[in-house]
Structure 1
Amino acid sequence: MANLRTSPLSRRGLLAAGGAVGLGAVLAACGDGDEKTSDSGKAAEKSGPWSFKDDRGQTAEARSVPKNIVAFIGVAAALHDYGIEVKGVFGPTKTADGKPDVQAGDLDISKVEVLGNVWGEFNVEKYTGLAPELLVTAMWEKDALWYVPDQSKDKILKLAPSVALWAAQTTVPKAIQRHEDLAASLGADVKAKKVTDAKAAFEKAAARLRAAAKSQPNIKVLVGSASQDLFYVSLAKTSADTLYFQELGVQFVEPKVNEAGFFEELSWENVDKYDADIIMMDNRSSALQPDALTSKPTWAQLPAVKAGQVIPRTTEPIYSYDKCAPILDALAEAIEKAKKVS
């Protein structure tokens, strides 16, 4: 994968490589048609026209509920957790060794058409061949469709209605609700036991994280992402996950962000600029992972690293209760066990 951090790309390109994002409001959904629940956890066939108002404020419409769905990999994984399957995906789906990317969740990637695996890659011919009835993706900046290339966007959007859901300018619970709204409109049974159990686990994990933060108020967390030449420190309030953690009481390092307002770029010589007790590291395949940083002496000398208090950060969560509950539990556990080292 090209080093998107050091290439002259748009802010979206930098975000794809591991930046952070901003805060705002979420719009309401709407769906039409009669619905009957099946024992399988997915609703029975819905009749009549379908519509859904997305987070751009645009309403996608169809004569019937879309079946041939193509989605950004993380959104596809969230829909899968609600029992809605897609025909095709785009975005980080496979690692270099062919295994599922972290953003694929429980999705069986062998059963979907992969239209693109890296930033800027989207096979329009394959997309057309799927006879798409709906395109769904995330939105980190207003009206910018995540991993839909600008150069082919107009051609892609002519082929099927589209839905964009905030991955920024929101919080984790709001983002989950919007993905659930979409899944329900597509026929998911959001009152199925699997879903309600996952929601209960999420709420329990949120309470645990709040309690952990309250019991360890002096523990400070740094949100980091690494490339070969630079270390990025993200501002917590500009991303859906860390903003929510902040609302639950977690204390974060506040970097002096660049003009884009999302993160500060540090050279490896200056990686010790901020004191931190826990470091959360971007887990995406576009970022270097901690085991690849052992050759960098300044990294090894950081107090949190020496104390073994480095944990993964799921920078692009899969917005279902099932996938977000473990994220909250992991951070809660880290804070519960953390020693003050800064």
Structure 2
Amino acid sequence: MSEPVLARRGFLAAAAGLAASLTLAACGSGTGTESTTAGGSPAPSGSAGGGPWTFTDDRGRKLERPSRPARVVAQVGSAAALWDFGVRPVAVFGPHKLKDGGKDPQAGNVDITKVTGLGNVWDEFNVEQYIALQPDLLVSNMYVKDTLWYVPEKSKDTIEQVAPTAGIMLTGKSATEVIGRYEALATSLGADLRGVPEAKARLEAASKELAAFKDLKILMVSGGADAFWVVNPPEYPDIVHLTAAGLDVVKPSKVDEGGFFQTLSWENADTYDADVILYDTRTQALKPEEMMKKPTFAKLPAVKAGQLYPWRAETPFSYQGYAAFVEALVADLRKASKLP
């Protein structure tokens, strides 16, 4: 696996234990809950039909099938986006189930009791089960072009032979651009877009409110046991959207190879000043109370002022998902003030 992907893995992979995940990232077969219809087959994503189907993905690949794909398998982030657009995948892979059996927040509104789980952590993808599902299409995000997120390098060639795969690029795009791509894909799959106009209006209204906080300097971070990551705004669709709407998000002066973030030791967690800190809420990241055990972090002005708020990284790329995300952020920023 290339170094940029490895770097991205170190920060964003959903495997528990970031240090262990970096070791395993050298490039990725699984368990899950399989749900069936009354007839005993996995629940379908939608009805096939409408004649020949085509869709050009973000690798520039023109995908073709004799009829509209009905049995869609998706990486959990893609599944969450498609679900909000009315597409019901038959299976997911990637972090969708917590250790206690509950649903991982990355799954969004996906009902994990009604989909087959092909793998829950990095490098876990049950190829045999995937083949048995007889899928029509696999969908995944891409952080690096031509690399489908959570599709293991060791089995990608076999996976590609089973059914067409669609990649949706995230890096360097705004959230609304990515949402638009999922809307186009869902539309091609015959999805019912009921509720989309209302959610889109909510997102637009909440985004306009962000300009009121343009004087606040905001730092967006993720904490690990031995490292503190400062994210690089241009690489993240959600942050591109926030900055375009008027937020002043700190850009690290020196980013790691791959460009996604700067890795700091906890002793250097005070490298950047900020009025507000937004912290990664995903399960593999340290919680605020854990980060505040680090003396340098605890002394940061934003932390001392109580201006530490959640960053819901990997929010589903749907209008519903982003409307809720931005509305919650606006509510938090209303509580903040410029620090001396």
Q: Give the TM-score range, shorter chain.
A: 0.7 to 0.9
- The residue number in structure 1 matching 2:86 is 83
Contact 1:82 1:189 in 2 (8 A): yes
User: Do residues 13 (structure 1) and 9 (structure 2) align?
Assistant: yes
Q: Is the 8 A contact 2:172 2:234 kept in 1?
A: no
CA distance in 2, matches of 1:91, 1:118: 6
Corresponding residue SS for 2:208:
helix
Q: Distance in 2 between matches of 1:305 and 1:59?
A: 49
CA distance in 1, matches of 2:144, 2:161: 21
Give the Cα–Cα distance (whole angstroms) in 2 for the partners of residues 108 and 200 of structure 1: 25
Q: What letter corresponds to residue 302 of structure 2 in structure 1?
A: A
- Residue 287 of structure 1, CA deviation: 1.5
Q: CA deviation at 1:305?
A: 1.3
Task: State the one-letter code of the partner of 1:195.
Answer: V
Distance (whole Å) between structure 1 residues aligned to residue 337 and residue 206 of structure 2: 21
**2:199 match: secondary structure:** helix
Q: Is the 8 A contact 1:89 1:113 kept in 2?
A: yes
The corresponding residue for 2:101 is 98
Give the C-alpha shift of residue 218 in structure 1.
2.6
Match of 2:222 in 1: 225
Structure 1 residue 294 displacement after superposition: 3.5
> Are the equivalent residues in 1 in contact too, given 2:97–2:103 (CA < 8 A)?
yes
Q: Secondary structure at the match of 1:151?
A: helix
1:51 maps to a residue whose letter is: T
- With normalisation by structure 2, the TM-score equals 0.86
Q: Is the 8 A contact 1:176 1:319 kept in 2?
A: yes
- Structure 1 residues 110 and 304: CA distance shift in structure 2, 3 A: same
Q: Matches of 2:269 and 2:294 in 1, distance apart?
A: 10
Q: Is contact 1:209–1:329 with CA below 8 Å preserved after alignment?
A: no
Query: 1:144 matched to which residue of 2?
Result: 147
Q: For 1:101 and 1:292, how far apart are their aligned partners in 2? A: 20
Q: Is the 8 A contact 1:166 1:175 kept in 2?
A: yes
Q: Which one of the candidate residues 276, 280, 283 is aligned to 2:281? A: 283
Any idea what SS the aligned residue of 2:334 has?
helix
Equivalent position SS for 2:154 = coil
Q: Distance in 2 between matches of 1:247 and 1:156?
A: 37
Aligned to 1:49: 52
In 1, are the aligned partners of 2:46 and 2:87 still within 8 Å (CA)?
Answer: no
Unaligned runs of 5+ in 2: 19-44
**Match of residue 336 from structure 2:** 338
Q: CA RMSD in A?
A: 2.1
Partner in structure 2 of residue 197 of structure 1? 198
Give, as a single letter, the amino acid of the residue that structure 1 aligns with 2:97: K
Indicate the larger mover: 101-110 or 305-314: 305-314
Equivalent residue in structure 2 for 1:308, among 274, 298, 306: 306
Aligned 8 A contact 1:17 1:287 in 2: no
The match for 2:320 among 319, 322, 338 is 322
Q: Deviations over 1:169-208 (max 9, x none)?
A: 2101111110000000001133x3x111111111111111
Q: Say which of 263, 266, 282 aligns to 2:264.
A: 266
Number of residue-to-residue matches in the alignment: 308
Q: TM-score, normalised on structure 1?
A: 0.85
Give, as a single letter, the amino acid of the residue that structure 1 aligns with 2:202. Answer: A
Matching residue of 2:209: 208
Instruction: Judge conservation of contact 1:225–1:288 (CA < 8 Å) in 2.
Output: yes
CA distance in 2, matches of 1:108, 1:17: 22
- Contact 1:88–1:112 (8 Å) recurs in 2: yes
How far residue 51 of structure 1 moved from its aligned partner, in angstroms, is 0.9
Q: Percent identity?
A: 45
Match of 2:36 in 1: none
Q: Is the contact between residue 7 and residue 257 of structure 2 (CA under 8 Å) also seen in structure 1?
A: no
Give the 3 Å change call, closer, same or farther, for CA 174–292 of structure 1 in structure 2: same
Distance, in Å, in 2 between the alignment partners of 1:74 and 1:43 is 19
